[in-house]
Amino acid sequence: MTQPRSRLRPAVSQGMACAALVTAAGLLAASPASSVTRDGTGTAPTAAQALAAPDIPLANVKAHLTQLQSIATANGGNRAHGRTGYKASVDYVRAKLDAAGFTTTLQQFTSSGSTGYNLVADWPGGDPNQVLMTGAHLDSVSAGPGIDDNGSGSAAVLETALAVSRAQFQPAKHLRFAWWGAEELGMVGSRNYVNSLSAADRAKISGYINLDMVGSPNPGYFVYDDDPAIEKAFKDWYAGLGIPTEPETEGDGRSDHASFKNAGIPVGGLFTGAERTKSAAQAAKWGGTSGQAFDRCYHSSCDTTANIDDTALDRNSDALAYAVWTLAATAPPSGDSYENTTDVAVPDNGAAVTSAVTVSGRNGNAPSALRVGVDIKHTWRGDLVVDLLAPDGTAYRLKNSSGSDSADNVIATYTVDASSEPANGTWRLRVQDVAAQDTGYIDSWKLTF
Ligand code: TRP
Ligand code: ZN
Ligand code: CA
């Protein structure tokens, strides 16, 4: 140090305040009664209707099933992984999405010696750090055409994606749709996809919705009881129709949502039942036949277009559209601040100290322009090295020390590209005084998302 020292400041006070959420705007909770339209599809949406989820035309969903059936029939009776009927199914879905303005990607993988494909379709726009994904497996077993399992989910997801295009829906979140290969071999395609993502890209997926078997001929109405927000969207929609649902607990490891759940991504979905038997109580509330499987043709050659309950397929398609519209409409608003006002003494020419701020309840990653408001009282600010530490410990340098910076205090707002960091967790401000004589304390600091 070459500059003269002066204005030494003695003891610092130690406040008691904790990290606090200063502002938080809640999600807009759309009520299903007022925001679900079930009145046909022929007219252009008005401004108000543009915000409401569309009615998904059952006829369109069934037309996709007819095409998938034809593809199976023309390819040896199935659409299984490694068979020509699978790739033909991918080509069919992809052409529809390309024509509707999606950016489609084919991801290849190898399983059991055959090439498999995942089809991923991104809808341009929305916050790239807040991705809402919806998916269905497109492969059948080799025993049959796989129209309920899982033409039904594939067609419902496809038609929902096409409805996004028709409405030119521009939600706050980014929308991504996917059709998985080789689910029937053990969720191979979806696992490949999730594993192919960087940790940063995985963290950007704020939720994954899975549809696997949503038109079972003796249907049950099961909603995955996993992520509460996704589950609520589906339950709200069914409540609006006055139809009771049951939590789907059986399927945790039985479809592609498992690949996402295993990576810590919030999941949800719909299911109308497979080989299990409908109980008398279930038949009483849902209709259908008790003592009979939800899908007697599960994994069989008779899983054809005749193996579909239209009402269940229609409801679940509409429920999916409602969930996508509702969950994607709002991203956690920017402008929320999280602050710690507890004073922390910074020892003179000593060890680094930290002050913590805990962020919770946000989806996805921090913004590329995360603002870090710093209020450090000090008698010679050049002594101080200041870093922001992300929850995983990654350090972002805010300020270096300087032998010539003799001013008081560090009162500044820094902007950090934190877009590779999950927002939630404990962030720290780290301050070290690296030169003798002048001292100070962290008065307060805050993160603004
Ligand atoms: N493809 C799944 C399977 O064969 C279908 C399935 C059965 C399922 N039970 C489920 C999907 C429960 C979701 C939840 O296992
Ligand atoms: Zn399936
Ligand atoms: Ca000092």
Task: Check: CB of residue 134 under 8 Å from CB of residue 160.
Answer: yes
Residue 286 shares a structural domain with residue 368:
no
Annotate 227-243 with b (16+ C-beta within 10 A) or e (fewer).
beebbbbbbbbbebeee
- On whether both 370 and 267 belong to a single domain, the answer is no
Please, which residues have CB less than 5 A from ligand 3, an ion? Answer: 348, 383, 433, 435, 438
Looking at 296, 329, 362, the residue that finishes a domain is 329
Number of the ligand 1 atom closest to the C-alpha atom of 222: 14
What count of other Cβ atoms lies within 10 Å of the Cβ of residue 294? 27
Per the CB < 8 A criterion, the answer to whether 242 and 327 are in contact is no
Cα 71 vs. chain centroid, distance in angstroms? 32
271 CB less than 6 Å from ligand 1?
A: yes
| Mean pLDDT score, 112-121 | 98
Q: How far apart are CA 264 and CA 193, in angstroms?
A: 14
CA of 161 to the centre of ligand 1 (A): 22
- Give the range among 31-35, 71-75, 142-146, 184-188 with minimum mean pLDDT: 31-35
- Per-residue confidence at 321, pLDDT binned at 50, 70, 90? very high
Distance, in Å, from the CA atom of 54 to the CA atom of 167, rounded to the nearest integer, reads: 8
Number of other CB atoms surrounding residue 275 within 10 Å:
12
User: Tokens 């549809």 identify what position?
Assistant: 211
User: How many whole angstroms from 303 Cα to the centroid of ligand 2?
Assistant: 11
Is residue 165 pLDDT above 90, yes or no?
yes
Q: How confident is the model at residue 346 (pLDDT cuts 50, 70, 90)?
A: very high
Q: Looking at per-residue confidence, does 118 or 129 come out higher? A: 118
Instruction: Tell me how many degrees the CA angle 179-180-185 measures, rounded to the nearest 5.
Output: 155
Q: Which of 159, 183, 184, 421 does the annotation list as catalytic?
A: 183
Q: Are residues 130 and 162 both part of a single domain?
A: yes
Measured CA to CA in angstroms, residue 384 lies from 12, 395, 431 at distances of 16, 15, 7
Q: How far is the CA of 434 from the centre of ligand 1 (A)?
A: 60
Residues 274 and 419 in one domain: no
pLDDT at 46: 38
Residue 39 has pLDDT above 60, yes or no: no
The pLDDT of residue 58 is above 60: yes
Low-confidence winner among 185-194, 335-344, 371-380, 434-443 (lowest mean pLDDT): 335-344
Claim to verify: residue 346 and residue 303 sit in the same structural domain: no
Question: Is 367 near ligand 1, meaning CB less than 6 Å away?
Answer: no
Q: Could you give the C-alpha distances from 55 to 40, 52, 97, 166, 386, in angstroms and in order? A: 6, 9, 19, 12, 54
* Share of residues in the chain with pLDDT > 70 (%): 87
Ligand nearest to the CA of 385: 3
Please give the angle made by the CA atoms of 110, 114 and 118, to the nearest 5 degrees.
55
Residue 437, classed as helix, strand or coil, is coil
Judged against a pLDDT cut of 70, whether residue 42 lies above it is answered with: no
Sign of CA dihedral 344, 349, 351, 357: positive
Nearest to 346 by CA among 432, 428, 409, 443: 432
Q: Output 171 or 7, whichever has higher pLDDT.
A: 171
Which residues does 201 contact at the CB level (< 8 Å), separation at least 6? none
Counting Cα atoms < 13 Å in the Cβ hemisphere of 342 gives 15
Confidence band (pLDDT; 50, 70, 90) for 6?
A: very low
How far apart, in Å, do the first and last CA atoms of the chain sit? 37
CB 190 within 8 A of CB 199: no
Domain identity same for 236 and 377: no
Q: Which residue from 81, 139, 147, 212 has its CB within 8 A of the most atoms of ligand 1, so it is best to mutate?
A: 212
Among 81, 210, 271, which residue has the most ligand 1 atoms within 8 Å of its CB, making it the best to mutate?
271
Give me the domain span that covers residue 414: 337-448
Domains in the chain: how many in total?
Answer: 2
Do 325 and 374 lie in a common domain? no
Q: Whose CA is nearest to atom 3 of ligand 1?
A: 254
Question: How many Cα atoms are found within 13 Å in the side-chain-facing hemisphere of 158?
Answer: 33
DSSP SS3 for 134: strand
Q: Is 183 a catalytic residue?
A: yes
Do 160 and 63 share a domain, yes or no? yes
Q: How far is the CA of 355 from the centre of ligand 2 (A)?
A: 49
Global pTM reads 0.71
- CA proximity to 246, closest of 258, 238, 257: 238
Ligand 1 site, residue 149, Cβ cutoff 6 A: yes
321, 342: one domain: no
Q: Which ligand 1 atom sits nearest the alpha carbon of residue 276?
A: 9
Q: Is residue 12 part of a domain?
A: no
The pLDDT score that the predictor gives to residue 367 is: 82
Q: Is residue 3 part of a domain?
A: no
Q: Are 160 and 320 in contact (CB under 8 A)?
A: yes
- d(CA 41, CA 63) in angstroms, rounded, equals 16
Asked if residue 57 and residue 124 are part of one domain, the reply reads: yes
To 10 degrees, the CA torsion angle through 181, 185, 187, 193? -50
User: Is residue 212 lining ligand 1, measured as CB closer than 6 Å?
Assistant: yes
Calculate how far, in angstroms, residue 438's C-alpha sits from the geometric centre of ligand 3: 4
- Look up the CATH number of the domain holding residue 352: 2.60.120.260
Is 2 a member of any domain?
Answer: no
User: Domain ends where: 301, 329, 357?
Assistant: 329
Q: Among 16-30, 113-127, 201-215, which stretch is predicted with the lowest mean pLDDT?
A: 16-30
The answer to whether the beta carbons of residues 237 and 36 sit under 8 Å apart is yes
pLDDT at res. 153: 99
33-42, 230-239, 328-337, 375-384: which range is least confident on average?
33-42
Q: Which amino acid is at 84?
A: T
431 CB under 6 A from ligand 1? no
CA of 360 to the centre of ligand 2 (A): 34
Q: Are residues 276 and 317 in the same domain?
A: yes
CA-nearest of 24, 10, 133, 2 to 438 is: 10
**For atom 7 of ligand 1, which residue has the closest CA?**
274
Nearest CA to ligand 1 atom 15: 254
Verify that 376 and 444 share a domain, yes or no.
yes
Q: What does the alpha-carbon distance between residue 107 and residue 120 come to, in Å, rounded to a whole number? A: 8
How many CB atoms are located within 10 Å of the residue 14 CB?
10
Q: Is residue 439 over pLDDT 80?
A: yes
Pairing of strands 344-346, 267-271: unpaired
251 band by pLDDT with thresholds 50, 70 and 90: low
Confidence of residue 415 (pLDDT cuts 50, 70, 90): confident
Residue among 175, 135, 147, 170 nearest 258 (CA)? 135
Mean pLDDT of 104-132: 97
